[in-house]
């Protein structure tokens, strides 16, 4: 296939790409200058709406629509939060953008704030990205020095301050209201909705939370236009008037058992197999793929036969995955035990659950104790049914939890057990030949350590 | 009139009333289970026990459109044409799942847990829970950790409803309680060096739906199913919180607040909550005594009252001190009795105990400096008989001027209300009757010592600082040897049959304009006597 000319990753790899000088030398900030000079904030919102840009943070919510939800004629202040928490396992494209092209990010933030009339933007950055922190802060300092940030940007009435705020290593701070609570200095327990952040967000003022990659898409839409953006991707399904389509370029994070893991840019709609073979050099060590995570572990699993699924906002859902998520593909080769995989997944979600709502707090912990027992050779077939029941009942989709972390915890359980049931049953029968058929509750394993 | 439909039952609500699904269902007689929601605290919707199905009814077609996912009833507004379904399969399964989830890591040590019998976990398990345990079995005993001087925490019983944490932030404003750790390792704790020490601390135990937070005063003292509850009024200060007095076989074990939107909402302070121990004090006076040259002699009640009546008539010039701890009915009866003997009898307000200043908390709850329940009510009784509010100083002046020969001092005070010097000024009377719970300098000078009742033994009404009259039921019988003031005054006035407060209140309401609104039955949350001023003002 014809190689795709990167746009979002265009500057990555060039020496000094993170500096203002290098960025402007290749046309950087021209889009922003044009927007500030020629468009009203309302026109910018219309532009982004027309592009059908969907958020790149995992939920795929149409960005223009999100901006549009801000209350009109609000006295302010209105806040923009940029979600740089990037904690979805398998995802690292935000890090590359922040480290190697921070100005593309900042230009998008400035345009977004202009459109939404935000005068303060907080970049919530996960603590584990120190280089991103240094590079972003340096870029922000350059902008202040050049009157591209601060009071009266480029002599216009538009003022903007951008603050870089570091997290402290919690996955739940990537959830938009968990992020807002953490930003406010509180325990990161996501808020109940309504009210939504557009109405009551940071300090209970109207707030928009956008992802780093989304901000970069805004930069490119302002520079190159709606037609360019919509020239790539998967068009909306004409039979579904509510489908916004999957337009524009996407950064795919490829990792796991491939020859060339890395971050690759291609239009939305690339299939998983194309990503692995054409970009990633194929499965490593001459092996075959057994399964692949399609978009960060929360999305679940694609089995080998499902690898031709297109990675757009509608594709993975058609084969029982939660959605596209962050399009972070992690490949598992044929030597991987799905029991190990699920155990690891359950351990992650039990550790990261914020704990405020019962089904997630207890459900993730219960799943982990069952997987612990299964791996210790004391599993029962009944455990698989219980894991599926937990997975089917917890989540914001059935309405039983406050946020989507539990859906993310549920999908790997549901996909792994439903798509690889035989392997789980075989493992349990083999490791617990005398007890696998037990259906009554069994004794818990003794707790040796509690961190 | 806006209508909400709950399980097919139509509930009319007032225009402008802001109710959630739980409150709307309550009106339909349906109890939606919940742990974290409380009407006095912010909504967090975190326990997920109140999940129901909701939808809207089209007012024109009557068609009902349901939302596909479950919603927490506590955070769903009940407005016109809102539909709630609380009994569908989906809802029942969700409740069973939440209940099961909460029991997974719970010690289930009911036999040694104080909350048994009033525990949400127990109740909801029986009503809504799974039939069998499916999670791994792990019997263990809860860890225990002290939160402060009044509250202890059984850490592992906690269901993370966060009511206690929200209370210390939103009500007491002291923010001592917090959540530590994350996920299923979460526990309630206090910051090292900052224990739970605020004067509303006992309320978090009421709030706790399970046996995690324990009241150190009540711990292991009594099983709740042995206790009977009686509506009462706290006599600790002039706020007059509505309370429940819980007793078993004439011993008070616990006081709890009763909901009263006009006075204390759902709360009471620690001073009031733990201020009942004097009722069972070992040094309470239990015997009627008459002063003689050789010292005090025990007398039977009947004999003593006959003698007192005779001697008061002989003394002819009388004064009575009406303690602000007496009920309205008692104060009235004692004054009436004195006036029945001496038409000019001096009726005065007893000493009013004041300690410190009023203390206002974050949400407006106030502990008042006036440490008695009925100064307002007694004042008005005094004013009715005297035309002004005469005080104990007036009475002492009258004694000094030689104008009084017989005085009856009523009590109910927890600590001596008059010091030795002031008590000395009562010297020289023909007859001094002192009626109180505990000995005091004045008690040691009395001609007749009558042991008095404690608040839990009284039936009658109190008027708080805001002119609200509330009627308390009697909870326990007084200890052997003690008779409640009301019964004595009733008998002295020749009243027939048992003393019933309501009969006396009728007379008080008919006789004294200030109390006129109380002629109608008084609701459990009392009645605002100021309404009579409006009535008086309108022509």
DSSP-derived pairing of the beta strands B431-436 and B448-451: parallel
pLDDT tens across B297-310, in order? 999 999 999 999 99
pLDDT tens across A229-243, in order? 999 999 998 998 888
B218 lies in some domain? no
- Contact list in B for residue A350 (CB cut-off 8 A) is 183-184
Q: Are B183 and A373 inside 8 Å of each other by CB?
A: no
Residue B27, both tokens:
């009106």
B513 lies in some domain? no
State the smallest CA–CA distance between residue A82 and chain B in angstroms.
24
Residue B144 contacts A, CB cutoff 8 Å: no
Give how many domains chain B has, as a whole number. Answer: 2
Residue B77, both tokens:
């507004």
Confidence of residue B532 (pLDDT cuts 50, 70, 90): low
The structure tokens 């972070």 sit at A328
Q: Considering only CB atoms, which residues of chain A are within 8 Å of chain B?
A: 170, 187, 189, 192, 350-359, 361-366, 369-370, 373, 386, 393, 397-402, 440-445, 450
Q: What is the pLDDT of residue B32?
A: 98
Q: Are A358 and B75 inside 8 Å of each other by CB?
A: no
Tell me if B213 sits within 8 A of B181, measured CB to CB.
no
Residue B94 contacts A, CB cutoff 8 Å: yes
Residue A325, both tokens:
């998520």
* B122: region left, alpha or beta (phi > 0 left; psi from -120 to 50 alpha): alpha
State the smallest CA–CA distance between residue B240 and chain A in angstroms.
36
Which B residues, 62 through 91, put their C-beta within 8 Å of a C-beta on chain A?
69-72, 75
Residue B185 contacts A, CB cutoff 8 Å: yes
Q: What is the pLDDT of residue B1?
A: 87
Residue A437, both tokens:
């058929």
Q: Are A444 and B137 inside 8 Å of each other by CB?
A: yes
Q: Are A350 and B71 inside 8 Å of each other by CB?
A: no
- Return phi, psi of residue B505, to 5°: -65, -35
B275 lies in some domain? no
Residue B208 contacts A, CB cutoff 8 Å: no
* B369: region left, alpha or beta (phi > 0 left; psi from -120 to 50 alpha): alpha
Q: Are B135 and A361 inside 8 Å of each other by CB?
A: no
Residue B184 contacts A, CB cutoff 8 Å: yes
**Residue of A353, A359, A397 lying closest to B183 (CB–CB):** A353
Closest CA to B31 of B45, B43, B49: B49
pLDDT tens across A77-121, in order? 999 999 999 999 999 999 999 999 999 999 999 999 999 999 999
Tell me if B184 sits within 8 A of A364, measured CB to CB.
yes
**Residue of B45, B136, B162 lying closest to A369 (CB–CB):** B136
End-to-end alpha-carbon separation of chain B, Å? 33
Q: What is the pLDDT of residue B535?
A: 61
**CA distance readout (Å), B482 to A59, B177, B451, B473:** 74, 44, 6, 18
Q: Are A364 and B184 inside 8 Å of each other by CB?
A: yes
Residue of B nearest to A393 (CA): B94
Of B87, B105, B122, the residue that ends a domain is B87
Q: How many CB pairs under 8 A join A and B?
A: 109
State the smallest CA–CA distance between residue B207 and chain A in angstroms.
17
Q: What is the pLDDT of residue A242?
A: 86
Residue B166, both tokens:
């929200």
**Residue of A358, A397, A450 lying closest to B47 (CB–CB):** A358
Q: Are B183 and A354 inside 8 Å of each other by CB?
A: yes
Q: Are B186 and A358 inside 8 Å of each other by CB?
A: no
Q: What is the pLDDT of residue A446?
A: 82
- Contact list in A for residue B93 (CB cut-off 8 A) is 393
- Contact list in A for residue B51 (CB cut-off 8 A) is 399-400
DSSP-derived pairing of the beta strands B228-233 and B3-6: unpaired
The structure tokens 């609104």 sit at B517
Q: Are B102 and A444 inside 8 Å of each other by CB?
A: no
Q: Are A192 and B43 inside 8 Å of each other by CB?
A: yes
Give the CATH number, domain containing residue B41: 3.10.20.740
Q: How confident is the model over B499-504, as a mean pLDDT?
A: 96
Task: For residue B309, give every residue at least 6 positions away whose Cβ sits within 8 Å of its Cβ, in sequence order, or none.
Answer: B492
Tell me if A174 sits within 8 A of A86, measured CB to CB.
yes
**What's the CA gap between B403 and B335, in Å, rounded?**
18
**Residue of A355, A440, A443 lying closest to B183 (CB–CB):** A355
B448 lies in some domain? yes
State the smallest CA–CA distance between residue A409 and chain B in angstroms.
13
- How does pLDDT run along chain A (451 residues), one tens digit per residue? 456 899 999 999 999 999 999 999 999 999 999 999 999 999 999 999 999 999 999 999 999 999 999 999 899 899 999 999 999 999 999 999 999 999 999 999 999 999 999 999 999 999 999 999 999 999 999 999 999 999 999 999 999 999 999 999 999 999 999 999 999 999 999 999 999 999 999 999 999 999 999 999 999 999 999 999 999 999 998 998 888 999 999 999 999 999 999 999 999 999 999 999 999 999 999 999 999 999 999 999 999 999 999 999 999 999 999 999 999 999 999 999 999 999 999 999 999 999 999 999 999 999 999 999 999 999 999 999 999 999 999 999 999 999 999 999 999 999 999 999 999 999 999 999 999 999 999 998 887 765 4
- Contact list in B for residue A398 (CB cut-off 8 A) is 69-70
**Residue of A353, A365, A393 lying closest to B97 (CB–CB):** A393
Q: Are B48 and A358 inside 8 Å of each other by CB?
A: yes
**What's the CA gap between A388 and B450, in Å, rounded?**
74
**Domain A20-231 sits in CATH 3.40.50.11540:** yes
State the smallest CA–CA distance between residue A56 and chain B in angstroms.
26
B397: number of Cβ within 10 Å = 15
Tell me if B413 sits within 8 A of B288, measured CB to CB.
no
Q: Are B135 and A366 inside 8 Å of each other by CB?
A: yes
A203: number of Cβ within 10 Å = 12
Beta bridge partners of B265: B260
Query: Class assignment of domain A338-431?
Result: mainly alpha
Q: Are B184 and A358 inside 8 Å of each other by CB?
A: no
Mutate to test the interface with B, among A361, A388, A391, A442 (most CBs of B within 10 A): A361
State the smallest CA–CA distance between residue B478 and chain A in angstroms.
48
Q: How confident is the model over B479-493, as a mean pLDDT?
A: 96
Tell me if A186 sits within 8 A of B169, measured CB to CB.
no
- Contact list in A for residue B72 (CB cut-off 8 A) is 192
- Contact list in A for residue B160 (CB cut-off 8 A) is 355-356, 358, 361
Residue B107 contacts A, CB cutoff 8 Å: no
Beta bridge partners of B470: B462
Task: For residue A228, give every residue at least 6 positions away whose Cβ sits within 8 Å of its Cβ, in sequence order, or none.
Answer: A220, A221
Residue of A nearest to B34 (CA): A358
State the smallest CA–CA distance between residue B130 and chain A in angstroms.
13
Query: Class assignment of domain A246-333?
Result: alpha beta
- Return phi, psi of residue A283, to 5°: -65, 140
Residue of A nearest to B46 (CA): A357
**Residue of A350, A397, A444 lying closest to B138 (CB–CB):** A444
Residue of A nearest to B135 (CA): A441
A239: number of Cβ within 10 Å = 6
Q: Are B48 and A359 inside 8 Å of each other by CB?
A: yes
State the smallest CA–CA distance between residue B102 and chain A in angstroms.
7
Q: Are A361 and B179 inside 8 Å of each other by CB?
A: no
B454 lies in some domain? yes
State the smallest CA–CA distance between residue A141 and chain B in angstroms.
36
> Three-state secondary structure along A382-431?
HHHHHHHHHHHHCCCCCCCCCCCHHHHHHHHHHHHHHHCHHHHHHHHHHH
Q: How confident is the model over B432-455, as a mean pLDDT?
A: 96
Residue of B nearest to A360 (CA): B183
**What's the CA gap between A247 and A105, in Å, rounded?**
19
- Contact list in A for residue B135 (CB cut-off 8 A) is 366, 369, 441
**What's the CA gap between A276 and A271, in Å, rounded?**
9
B486 lies in some domain? yes
Give the CATH number, domain containing residue B417: 3.40.50.740
Task: For residue B467, give every residue at least 6 positions away whose Cβ sits within 8 Å of its Cβ, in sequence order, or none.
Answer: B376, B528, B529, B530
Burial class of B182 by CB neighbour count within 10 A (0 to 12, 13 to 18, 19+): buried
Beta strands per DSSP E along A148-280: 161-166, 207-211, 233-234, 246-247, 249-256, 262-267
B248 lies in some domain? no
B17: number of Cβ within 10 Å = 11
Closest CA to B348 of B333, B330, B329, B335: B335
Average predicted confidence (pLDDT) for chain B: 96
Q: Which domain holds residue B344?
A: 289-501
Mutate to test the interface with B, among A399, A405, A406 (most CBs of B within 10 A): A399
**CA distance readout (Å), A180 to A69, A198, B482, B497:** 18, 12, 63, 69
Tell me if B492 sits within 8 A of B309, measured CB to CB.
yes
Q: What is the pLDDT of residue B241?
A: 98
Indicate the domain borders of chain A: 20-231, 246-333, 338-431
**What's the CA gap between A288 and A334, in Å, rounded?**
6
B351 lies in some domain? yes
Q: How confident is the model over B89-96, as a mean pLDDT?
A: 97
User: Could you tell me the pTM of the whole model?
Assistant: 0.95
Of B62, B87, B112, the residue that ends a domain is B87
């Amino acid at each position: 296939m014809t190689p795709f000319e990167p746009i979002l990753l265009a500057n990555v790899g060039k020496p000094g790409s993170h500096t203002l000088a290098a960025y402007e030398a290749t046309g950087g900030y021209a889009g922003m200058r044009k927007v500030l000079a020629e468009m009203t904030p309302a026109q910018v919102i219309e532009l982004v709406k027309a592009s059908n840009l969907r958020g790149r943070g995992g939920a795929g919510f149409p960005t223009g629509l999100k901006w549009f939800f801000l209350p009109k004629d609000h006295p302010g202040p209105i806040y923009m939060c940029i979600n740089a928490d990037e904690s979805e396992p398998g995802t690292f494209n935000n890090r590359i953008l922040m480290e190697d092209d921070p100005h593309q990010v900042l230009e998008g933030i400035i345009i977004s704030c202009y459109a939404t009339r935000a005068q303060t933007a907080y970049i919530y950055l996960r603590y584990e990205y120190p280089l991103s922190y240094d590079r972003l802060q340096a870029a922000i300092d350059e902008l202040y020095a050049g009157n591209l940030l601060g009071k009266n940007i480029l002599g216009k009435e538009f003022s903007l301050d951008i603050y870089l705020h570091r997290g402290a290593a919690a996955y739940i701070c990537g959830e938009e209201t968990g992020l807002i609570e953490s930003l406010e200095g509180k325990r990161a327990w996501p808020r109940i909705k309504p009210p939504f952040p557009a109405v009551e967000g940071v300090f209970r003022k109207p707030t928009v939370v956008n992802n780093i990659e989304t901000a970069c898409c805004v930069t490119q839409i302002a520079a190159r236009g709606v037609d360019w953006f919509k020239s790539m991707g998967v068009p909306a399904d004409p039979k579904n008037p509510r489908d916004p389509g999957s337009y524009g370029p996407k950064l795919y994070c490829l990792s796991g058992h491939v020859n060339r893991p890395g971050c690759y840019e291609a239009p939305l709609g690339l299939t998983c197999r194309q990503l692995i073979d054409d970009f990633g050099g194929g499965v490593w060590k001459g092996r075959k793929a057994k399964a692949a995570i399609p978009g960060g572990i929360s999305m679940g699993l694609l089995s080998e036969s499902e690898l031709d699924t297109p990675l757009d906002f509608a594709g993975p859902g058609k084969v029982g995955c939660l959605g596209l998520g962050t399009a972070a593909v992690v490949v598992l080769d044929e030597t991987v035990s799905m029991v190990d995989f699920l155990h690891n997944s359950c351990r992650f979600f039990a550790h990261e659950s914020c704990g405020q709502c019962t089904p997630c707090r207890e459900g993730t912990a219960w799943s982990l104790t069952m997987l612990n027992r299964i791996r210790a050779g004391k599993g029962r077939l009944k455990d698989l049914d219980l894991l599926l029941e937990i997975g089917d009942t917890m989540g914001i989709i059935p309405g039983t939890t406050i946020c989507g972390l539990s859906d993310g915890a549920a999908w790997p359980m549901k996909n792994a057990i439903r798509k690889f049931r035989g392997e789980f049953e075989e493992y349990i029968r083999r490791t617990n030949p005398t007890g696998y058929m037990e259906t009554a509750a069994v004794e818990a394993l003794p707790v040796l350590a509690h961190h | 009139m806006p209508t909400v439909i709950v399980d097919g039952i139509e509930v009319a609500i007032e225009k402008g009333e802001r109710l959630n699904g739980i409150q709307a269902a309550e009106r339909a007689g349906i109890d939606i289970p919940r742990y974290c929601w409380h009407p006095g605290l912010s909504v967090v919707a975190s326990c997920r026990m109140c999940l129901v199905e909701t939808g809207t009814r089209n007012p024109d077609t009557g068609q009902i459109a349901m939302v596909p996912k479950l919603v927490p009833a506590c955070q769903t507004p009940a407005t016109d044409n809102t539909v709630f379904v609380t009994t569908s399969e989906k809802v029942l399964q969700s409740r069973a799942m939440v209940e099961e989830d909460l029991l997974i890591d719970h010690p289930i040590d009911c036999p040694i847990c104080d909350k048994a019998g009033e525990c949400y976990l127990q109740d909801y398990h029986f009503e809504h829970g799974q039939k069998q345990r499916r999670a791994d079995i792990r019997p263990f005993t809860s860890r225990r950790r002290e939160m402060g001087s009044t509250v202890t925490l059984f850490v592992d019983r906690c269901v993370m409803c966060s009511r206690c944490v929200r209370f210390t932030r939103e009500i007491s404003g002291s923010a001592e309680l917090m959540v530590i750790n994350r996920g299923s390792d979460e526990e309630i704790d206090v910051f090292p060096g900052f224990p739970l020490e605020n004067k509303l601390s006992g309320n978090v135990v009421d709030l706790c739906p399970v046996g995690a937070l324990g009241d150190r005063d009540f711990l292991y003292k009594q099983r709740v199913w042995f206790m009977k509850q009686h509506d009462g009024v706290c006599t600790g200060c002039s706020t007059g919180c509505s309370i429940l007095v819980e007793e078993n076989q004439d011993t008070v074990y616990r006081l709890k607040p009763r909901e009263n939107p006009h006075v204390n909402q759902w709360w009471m302070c620690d001073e009031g909550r733990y201020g009942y121990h004097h009722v069972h004090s070992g040094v309470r006076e239990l015997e009627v005594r008459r002063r003689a040259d050789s010292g005090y002699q025990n007398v039977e009640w009947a004999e003593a009252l006959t003698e007192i009546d005779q001697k008061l008539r002989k003394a002819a010039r009388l004064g009575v001190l009406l303690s602000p701890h007496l009920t309205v009915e008692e104060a009235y009866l004692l004054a009436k009795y004195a006036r029945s003997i001496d038409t000019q009898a001096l009726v005065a307000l007893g000493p009013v105990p004041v300690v410190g200043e009023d203390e206002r908390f974050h949400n407006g709850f106030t502990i008042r400096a006036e440490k008695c329940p009925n100064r307002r009510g007694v004042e008005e009784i005094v004013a009715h008989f005297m035309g002004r509010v005469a005080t104990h100083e007036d009475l002492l002046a009258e004694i000094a001027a030689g104008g009084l020969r017989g005085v009856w001092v009523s009590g109910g005070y927890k600590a001596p209300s008059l010091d030795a010097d002031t008590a000395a000024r009562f010297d020289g009377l023909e007859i001094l009757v002192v009626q109180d719970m505990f000995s005091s300098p004045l008690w040691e000078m009395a001609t007749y010592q009558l042991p008095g009742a404690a608040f839990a033994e009284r039936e009658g009404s109190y008027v708080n600082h805001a002119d609200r009259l509330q009627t308390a039921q009697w909870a326990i019988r007084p200890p052997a040897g003690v008779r409640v003031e009301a019964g004595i005054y009733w008998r002295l006035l020749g009243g027939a049959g048992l003393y019933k407060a309501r009969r006396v209140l009728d007379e008080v309401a008919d006789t004294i304009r200030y109390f006129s609104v109380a002629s109608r039955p008084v609701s459990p949350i009392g009645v605002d006597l100021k309404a009579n001023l409006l009535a008086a003002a309108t022509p």
